[in-house]
Amino acid sequence: MAEKSVLDYLTKQNRPYSLNDIVNNLLNAFGKAVVQKAIDKLVQDGKIQEKVYGKQKVYLVDQSLFKEESPVELQAMDVKIEELEKSVKVSEVGFKEAQAQLKELSSSLTMEEALDQVSGLTKETSDLEAKYKKLSEMTVVVDPKERDTIRKKRELYFKEWRGRKRRCMDMLEAILENYPKSKSCLFEEIGVETDEDVNVCIPK
């Protein structure tokens, strides 16, 4: 079952893939060890080839299994490729224009949204004024030693926050090197929520 799936996929794509690529592109239908065993058997049977580039191994279908195209067929393929490339360029232009329009529309507020925003800001201002008045009427003396202790703890916690965030992002970047999709897809798939997603930033 795994051998057929691997061979069918590599035959359809007809391009080299690493072991991790094949496992991921088969949507993890088989474990890594099972896929490696299937690949080894296919290589042994001469159905796929193994290429080694330094420490990296890639696999592709034995090209001798494909029929040799005639000059007429190759010319027709070249024409088709050229047509597809033109179509892709036209689609890219349309996509960028649509993105620009969407960005412009997204940044615009409706009258109702604007009124809600004004109302929210008015309430927030009123709350802050009340808080300021209350604080200005209070006289609280903080012991210098306690203040220094609090400041040091604050710096320690923020330092730990930065370190954990950096280590986490380093691990994610390492995963992305062999991940076939975008960073946002990976984050969504494994349930990663960044500080930016919840509008939180590490104080300087």
Give the tens place of pLDDT for each residue, 15-49: 899 999 999 999 888 999 999 999 999 999 988 99
In a domain, 25, yes or no: yes
Q: Where are the alpha helices (DSSP H) in 15-110?
A: 19-25, 32-44, 71-106
pLDDT of residue 42: 92
Same domain, 22 and 49: yes
Q: Locate 123 and state its tokens.
A: 């309430």
What is the side-by-side order of every strand in the sheet holding 48-53?
A: 17-18, 56-61, 48-53
Tens of pLDDT, residues 158-189? 888 888 888 988 888 888 888 888 888 888 88
Tens of pLDDT, residues 191-202? 888 878 778 777
Helices (H) and strands (E) counted in the chain, each on its own, are 7, 3
pLDDT of residue 20: 93
In a domain, 201, yes or no: no
As for how many domains the chain has, the answer is: 4
In a domain, 203, yes or no: no
Beta bridge partners of 52: 57
Cα–Cα dist 175/90, whole Å = 33
Look-up of token digits 């299937």: 38
In a domain, 204, yes or no: no
Same domain, 7 and 52: yes
Of all residues in the chain, what percent carry a pLDDT higher than 90?
A: 19
Residue-range definition of the domain harbouring residue 178: 141-195
Single out the residue of 56, 66, 48 nearest to residue 3, CA to CA. Answer: 48
In a domain, 173, yes or no: yes
Instruction: Give the residue from 34, 65, 96 where a domain finishes.
Output: 65
Same domain, 146 and 190: yes
Same domain, 126 and 169: no
The three-class DSSP label of residue 82 is helix
Question: Does this model's pTM top 0.75?
Answer: no
Same domain, 40 and 89: no
- The single-letter code of the amino acid at 132 is Y
pLDDT of residue 139: 60
Tens of pLDDT, residues 122-163? 888 888 888 877 776 666 666 788 888 888 888 888 888 888
Look-up of token digits 């929210």: 120
Single out the residue of 126, 18, 176, 139 nearest to residue 184, CA to CA. Answer: 176
Across 93-104, average pLDDT:
81
Decide if pLDDT at 61 tops 70: yes
Q: Locate 59 and state its tokens.
A: 């696999």
Look-up of token digits 């202790």: 149
